[in-house]
Amino acid sequence: MTNVLDILEERGYIEQMTHEQEMKELFAKECVPFYIGFDPTADSLHVGHFVSMMVASQMQKAGHKPIILVGGGTATIGDPSGKTDMRRMMSREEINHNVECFKVQLSKFLSFEGANAAIIVNNADWLLDLNFVDFMREIGSLFSVNKMLAAECYKQRMETGLTFFELGYMLMQSYDFLHLHDTYGCKMQMGGNDQWSNILGGVDLIRRIGHSDSYGLTFKLLTTKEGKKMGKTEKGALWLDASKTSPYEFYQYWRNIADADVRTVLCLLTFLPMDEVNRLSSLQDEQINEAKKVAAFEITKLIHGEEEARKAQEAAEALFGGSGNLDNMPTTTIEKMEMPILDVLISAGLAPSKGQARILIGQGGITLNDTKVEDTNYILSSKDFKDGYAILRKGKKVFHKILVK
């Protein structure tokens, strides 16, 4: 059996781990049940979850058993990690709906059949019926508040006020690990680097109770070379649901990444062999665009399927090459032809506000049908819709088709 830790290390996933030597020996000799948690605070996963999904898939391909924990119980509190404000509490109905949406997206990465079939569990099934006094006596007594407050996730919230409600999050996530350990033989919790404190809490809880087979590993967050989180657009998050972020927009995001980020994206978000990753990421100057095309196609194929990835690729080539089918371009339909350019830019998601739209035009960043827009008060008319549509371009690479009802 391939030691998956070597694969994860080679591709650059691993940030921190506990008991490294023990883990390597364990993964070399047996199928290890592990879990990764997802917080169901929206009805779609987004790019921030992508690395977790890839790690789970890499683990399963190497023969290990994924347990996908959907935090239906902990979502009623909200994880304070990386947050400066308390999250809105969600209803059970909202959470259940989001859980069902997640299952569809996760099935593209994981197999739910076979000897090491993935399973999906919802911590609402055991957390919501806990007896508070019993829980605090049996679990709460094993945690040091002093140690918890030293964790980075709580330090940030101490500035603005940390509720006891949120303080309980670490206990609940740690209890999740214990429950999965006792119920499914789960030996490892994995998560993003911002989860390190919570993961250590679970590993320590299981070991304090008397078991030695609990381990934790965090992987790198998906960031640019400058350290900024990837996956943000003018419209907000880059969602994995096609109704929230179209396959074309998704493809274009990866097609337009910085040269310095190509290797990171190829390593973390594709299954391309490392020889091919090394070849593509070594390309220089104009040739690096070929690597970006490969990355965009492979990533879009994983999320939306090969047909949608091909359509997005064809639409992009049609725009940049001046030929081909424009049907797959992001499209906005406006109510009437005579509409101010500022309103059209906002409707198309090319600018978040009129102020930003004015700045884009002032900087020469908006083109309408190959003509640079210079007048912020410009109003579209019939001459802009010669072929039944108008094409807006922001910068050099972001295109949008405008139709009229």
Query: What is the mean predicted confidence (pLDDT) over 159-174?
Result: 81
Count of other CB atoms within 10 angstroms of residue 242: 16
Task: Exactly one of 233, 331, 332, 356 is catalytic; name it.
Answer: 233
In this model, does residue 276 exceed pLDDT 80?
A: yes
Shared domain check, 340 and 247: no
Higher pLDDT: 162 or 326? It is: 162
Which among 288, 321, 354 is the end of a domain? Answer: 321
Q: Are 238 and 336 contained in the same domain?
A: no
Domain-embedded: residue 224: no
Catalytic residue selected from 16, 61, 156, 194: 194
Q: DSSP of 76-120, one letter per residue?
A: GT---TT-SSPPPP--HHHHHHHHHHHHHHHTTT---SSTT--EE
The number of domains in the chain is 3
- Backbone conformation region of residue 114, classed left if phi is above 0, alpha if psi is from -120 to 50, else beta: left
Amino acid 103: pLDDT: 86
CATH code assigned at 373:
3.10.290.10
Give catalytic status of residue 49 as yes or no: yes
| Active-site annotation holds for 46 | yes
Does position 37 have pLDDT exceeding 90, yes or no? yes
262-269 helix and 50-61 helix, angle to the nearest 10 degrees: 50
* DSSP code, position 228: P
- Is the pLDDT assigned to residue 86 strictly greater than 50? no
Please check whether residue 326 lies inside any domain of the structure: no
**Domain of residue 264, CATH code:** 1.10.240.10
Residues 237 and 207 in one domain: no
Domain boundary among 188, 219, 250: 219
Given 61, 207, 232, 235, the catalytic residue: 232
The pLDDT, as a whole number, for residue 143 is 86
pLDDT band at 83; cut points 50, 70, 90:
very low
Residue 65 maps to a domain: yes
The answer to whether residues 213 and 335 belong to one domain is no
More confident residue, 1 or 380: 380
Domain range for 369 is 331-404
Residue 69: which pLDDT band, with cuts at 50, 70 and 90?
Answer: very high
Name the catalytic one among 24, 61, 83, 179.
83
Output the CA angle 77-81-84, nearest 5 degrees: 85
Q: State pLDDT tens for residues 210-253.
A: 888 999 999 998 988 888 888 866 567 899 999 888 898 899 89
- Tokens at 195, concatenated: 């989860």
pLDDT greater at residue 216 or residue 1: 216
Tell whether 374 is covered by a domain.
yes
Active site residue 304: no
Mean pLDDT throughout 174-197? 94
Supply the pLDDT for residue 169.
Answer: 82
Domain shared by 190 and 69, yes or no = yes
Point out the least confidently predicted range of 10-14, 128-132, 279-283.
128-132
Tell me which of 87, 220, 244, 354 is the catalytic residue: 87
Q: Is residue 240 classed as helix, strand or coil in its secondary structure?
A: coil
245 lies in some domain: yes
Give the pLDDT band (50/70/90) at residue 128.
confident
Any domain includes 119: yes
- The rounded Cα 76 to chain-centroid distance in angstroms is 21
Beta strand 232-233 pairing with 236-237: antiparallel
Whether 220 is a known active-site residue: answer: no
pLDDT at 85: 47
Q: Annotated catalytic, 233?
A: yes
Identify whether residues 256 and 185 lie together within a single domain: no
The single residue of 173, 189, 195, 270 carrying the catalytic annotation is 173
Three-class DSSP category at 136: helix
Lowest mean pLDDT among 76-85, 161-170, 393-402: 76-85
27-52 mean pLDDT: 90
Residue 288 is predicted with a pLDDT of: 94
168 and 237 housed in the same domain: no
Query: Given this model, what pLDDT does residue 325 score?
Result: 60
On the CB side of 8, how many CA atoms lie within 13 Å of its CA?
A: 28
Residue, of 328 and 210, whose pLDDT is higher = 210
Instruction: Report pLDDT for 88.
Output: 60
Q: What is the pLDDT of residue 2?
A: 65
Residue 83 is a catalytic residue: yes
- Nearest Cα to Cα of residue 57 among 115, 121, 8, 102: 8
254 or 315, greater pLDDT: 254
In a domain, 114, yes or no: yes
Q: Which amino acid is at 376?
A: T
Domain final position from 297, 321, 345: 321
Q: Is residue 226 part of a domain?
A: no
Residues 359 and 248 in one domain: no
pLDDT reported for residue 231: 80
The answer on 292 and 268 residing in a single domain is yes
CATH at residue 96: 3.40.50.620
pLDDT attached to residue 384: 87
For residue 171, pLDDT over 70 is answered with yes
What's the rounded mean pLDDT across residues 259-266? Answer: 95
98 and 199 inside one domain: yes
Mean of pLDDT values over 366-381: 89
Kindly state the helix (H) or strand (E) to which residue 192 belongs, with its residue range: strand 188-192
Quick: pLDDT tens for 284-302.
998 999 999 999 999 999 9
Q: Specify the pairing of strand 188-192 against strand 33-38.
A: parallel
Would the pLDDT of 151 be above 60?
A: yes
Residue 331: φ, ψ to 5°: -130, 140
Mean pLDDT of 57-69: 95
> Are 340 and 283 contained in the same domain?
no
pLDDT at 89: 65
Catalytic residue among 49, 64, 157, 393: 49
Of 93 and 46, the one with more pLDDT: 46
The reply to whether 34 and 103 lie within a common domain is: yes
Share of the chain above pLDDT 90, in %: 44
Q: Which of 11, 19, 46, 65 is catalytic?
A: 46
What is the pLDDT, as a whole number, of residue 204?
93
